[in-house]
Amino acid sequence: MGTVKTKDGVEIFYKDWGTGQPIVFHHGWPLSSDDWDAQMLFFVNKGYRVVAHDRRGHGRSSQVSDGHDMDHYAADAAAVVDHLDLKNAVHVGHSTGGGEATRYVAKHGKDRTAKLVLIGAVPPIMLKTESNPGGIPLDVFDTAFRAPLAANRAQFYRDIPEGPFYGFNRPGAKVSQGVIDNWWRQGMMGGAKAHYDGIKAFSETDFTADLKSINVPTLVMHGADDQVVPIDDSAKLSVKLLKNGILKVYDGFPHGMCTTHADVINEDLLAFVKSTG
């Protein structure tokens, strides 16, 4: 574990375990690199070097006031990659981290990236606009995200994992209190300002141009029952914009499928990392 200081003076916390081909993990909102525990343990034991960082304002990184946007997120990821001199890396991004990884590969990492994986990821754009009529209206992000975060962040961070994030609100779901508590713990480690500003970053950023510019093999993985980032306006559109994209849909899987179905996701990730072409 260590830190790297960005050009604008932000301390970014990262984990760096193992040796071999690097796999870099980009976490979702409002979590931290700890959300990748199941994947990092799996891959380090398979002989890979695994790296994950806490986004600025999240986890153990600096709780700064500014820079909570995708351009800064991608530049911060580049600072970690450059500091560790990672080459031939596979970048894996979940949810907001999928947007961060997309922007990183498009703007910073083309010479250092072997493959890209987007899991339950926010690209191309979540917000409903004239060019994206299937998106989510702005007032939904205001009422369902910004208002409850500002009013009672601690309770809001109980409600999300208890409900749609892991599909624990579905009939017959096997609920894990430990998973819920761990989500809350990660969220509350970060800063309210960063999380509030991050809502705009994950919902309003348009990644269309980024996706079109990416040439590396890209696996787009998405749960068909993702209640947080609906598949029809995300993964199904992203794969059409990618030059070398493959879509893999998981029937009944939730947004947090990397945790709830880690055994399935890890094996599919491994197969993609090991694949040629």
| pLDDT tens by residue, 10-28 | 999 999 999 999 999 999 9
Crossing angle of helices 147-162 and 177-189, in 10° steps, is 150
Q: Which of 33, 95, 203, 238 is catalytic?
A: 95
The set of residues, in sequence order, having a beta carbon less than 8 Å from that of 225 and lying 6+ positions away, is 167, 170, 251, 252, 253, 254
Q: Are 128 and 206 in contact (CB under 8 A)?
A: no
pLDDT band at 276 (very low <50, low <70, confident <90, very high): confident
Catalytic-residue membership of 255: yes
Q: Which of 226, 234, 238, 261 is catalytic?
A: 226
Catalytic-residue membership of 27: no
State the Cα–Cα distance between residues 254 and 63, nearest whole angstrom: 30
Q: Are 154 and 185 in contact (CB under 8 A)?
A: no
> Mean of the pLDDT values across residues 76-84?
98
Hey, what's the torsion of the CAs at 272, 259, 141, 233, to 10 degrees? 30
Catalytic-residue membership of 226: yes
Assess whether pLDDT exceeds 90 at residue 277: no
205 φ/ψ angles, rounded to the nearest 5 degrees:
-75, 130
pLDDT, residue 161, reads 98
Task: Express each pLDDT in 103-155 by its tens digit.
Answer: 999 999 999 999 999 999 999 999 999 999 999 999 999 999 999 999 999 99
Q: Out of 3.40.50.1820, 3.30.70.360, 3.40.50.1110, 3.90.1200.10, which CATH number does the structure's domain 2-274 have?
A: 3.40.50.1820
Distances in Å between the Cα of 174 and the Cα atoms of 162, 186, 188, 204, 275 are: 11, 21, 24, 33, 33
